[in-house]
Structure 1
Amino acid sequence: MPELPEVETTRRRLLPLLLGQSFLEIRHQDPRRYRHTERALGQRVEEVGRRGKFLLLGLSGGLEMVVHLGMTGGFRLRETPHARVAFRLDRGELFFHDPRRFGRLWVVKAGDHREIPLLSRLGPEPLSAAFRFPEFWEGLRRSAKPLKSLLLDQRLAAGVGNIYADEALFRAGLSPLRRGKEVGEEEARRLFATIRQVLAEALAQGGSTLGDRTYQQPDGLPGSFQERHAVYGRKGLPCPRCGHPVARAVVAGRGTHFCPRCQT
């Protein structure tokens, strides 16, 4: 958290707030996490983009501000007790809110992502034409890793995280513990389709806001896709298909929810 739907929702909300604005002042007390912010002073925001779970703000002067929200990061229009970075713009202020401090920010030359190695190795955007089944299936067939691990790796599909991997695997009827090389072509086609379905539906609902409410849109509105979660966070509750209790396991270090009866 946040994953592609939450970051893309944030991007869309930030677009009218930031586009054409210049950074007049950037205040924070952690130069290790928020790197080279002085470079952005006086620069104008010319683009508000996204790659996987990263926000990419194209700046004048050939610069780029890269933001990773981490687990609990997000932007707010008003200062909060957990505001880590304050941005003074031509018109008003914006705050980066991050209770657990896992979020990061870099100001770099446009396209120079040497300080951010994950950004350089992301796979295709799953809601774009670049996400193609032949490459997706080949990636599965080459790997002995569990499906959940493969989806979290970001090379098969950029931006898929814990929530949407669980939900896509449930819809596809595939166990998160199955190894990639064990998946047949028709099963792979189901998973390919459900990744796109789940992400598109979640984006339409503004993402998922969980019980801790750490993810909110900049204007404070929550997402609502959590109301459609079939398995994520539902350990012990009945599977919406068969009624069997939803199970939880740890895969790739992440809590993983699935139906042992429906997902094989």
Structure 2
Amino acid sequence: MPELPEVETTCRGIAPHTEGQVVRDVVVRQAQLRWPVPDDLQDLVGQTVNTVSRRAKYVLLEADTGTVMLHLGMSGSLRIVEAGLAPEKHDHVDLVLASGKSIRLHDPRRFGAVLWTQQPIAQHKLIQHLGPEPLTDAFNAEYLHASAQKRSVAVKQFIMDAQVVVGVGNIYASESLFMAGISPKRAANKVSKARYVQLTESIKQVLARAIAQGGTTLRDFVQAEGKPGYFQQQLNVYGRTNEPCRLCAAPIKQIKQGQRSTFYCSNCQK
């Protein structure tokens, strides 16, 4: 599943081709995605895309009278293609730009979304209850420690809760906890403030590094230009079951938490 670094990489990839461009046409080949593509998406035709940004895992295209909300789902990607390029089987939506390029949503599993809203984006029902962005000053040890005080859930599940902080998906939660030396099984309210200082810094470092390297290539994710990301080459624990820990050589363990696989070193993480 594309996580925050992949979505941020996508935003950065499409922004130079999209910002300031007039939308010439909207082509919907498959409207039945995670939610039906709304008919009023056609209102975008003739409007200028003023900015490309991201909130959590949503790519936001702010136009003259509203905002397009794009979500990549489990296996989706956005690509910049020539407007006349023949679509492939799972190319469901094109936003055709006056430049002769198109933003194309490719989504084999159809868990992604293309939505249109004219309300302030912060008030949208999919956005309004989200936690802070992890790379902003609003996400800090004081906030995370205070949020954890009444939460007995395992700390890994806690930091993956989008109402606590957005974008810390399964891969990056495992990697951040390893960097901070915290067991993913420890209860959130049993982690000290000092260790939350380490964890918030680790989350910021892991995500920033992943963004800088283009995201993690897993399953079907590719960048806007069709190039894969490379962060998975530097994963310390995720997907490395029984391989030696890079710090102590103990075997990496794998468990299930909330129906998701968790990877950790029982020697380095307490």
Q: TM-score range by the shorter chain?
A: over 0.9
Q: Which residue of 1 aligns with 2:47?
A: 43
Instruction: Give ranges in structure 1 of 5+ residues lacking alignment.
Output: none
TM-score using structure 2 length: 0.91
Structure 1 residue 72 corresponds to structure 2 residue 72:
no
Aligned CA RMSD, in angstroms, stands at 1.6
CA–CA separation in structure 1 for the residues paired with 2:125 and 2:180: 31
Contact 1:75-1:94 at 8 Å conserved across structures: yes
Structure 1 residue 101 corresponds to structure 2 residue 110:
yes
- Runs of 4+ in structure 1 deviating by more than 4 angstroms, as ranges, are none
Task: Give the SS at the match of 1:66.
Answer: strand
Q: For residue 117 of structure 1, report the CA deviation from its aligned partner.
A: 3.3
Q: For residue 4 of structure 1, report the CA deviation from its aligned partner.
A: 1.4
Task: Give the SS at the match of 1:67.
Answer: strand
Q: Which residue of 1 aligns with 2:84?
A: none
CA–CA separation in structure 1 for the residues paired with 2:138 and 2:165: 10
CA–CA separation in structure 2 for the residues paired with 1:149 and 1:41: 41
CA–CA separation in structure 2 for the residues paired with 1:70 and 1:151: 20
Q: Which residue of 1 aligns with 2:145?
A: 137
Task: Give the SS at the match of 2:116.
Answer: strand
CA–CA separation in structure 2 for the residues paired with 1:112 and 1:240: 43
Q: Which residue of 2 aligns with 1:119?
A: 127
Q: For residue 263 of structure 1, report the CA deviation from its aligned partner.
A: 1.4
Q: Aligned residues, how many?
A: 260
Contact 1:148-1:252 at 8 Å conserved across structures: no
Q: Which residue of 2 aligns with 1:58?
A: 62
Once the two structures are superposed, what CA deviation does each residue of 1:114-133 show, in whole Å capped at 9, x if it has no partner?
A: 7x634211111111122232
Q: For residue 5 of structure 1, report the CA deviation from its aligned partner.
A: 1.1
TM-score using structure 1 length: 0.93
Identity %: 38
Q: For residue 113 of structure 1, report the CA deviation from its aligned partner.
A: 6.6
Amino acid at match of 1:33: P
Amino acid at match of 2:15: L
Q: For residue 167 of structure 1, report the CA deviation from its aligned partner.
A: 0.3
Q: Which residue of 2 aligns with 1:25?
A: 25
CA–CA separation in structure 2 for the residues paired with 1:199 and 1:112: 24
Once the two structures are superposed, what CA deviation does each residue of 1:146-199 show, in whole Å capped at 9, x if it has no partner?
A: 111111111232111111101001111111111101111221111111001101
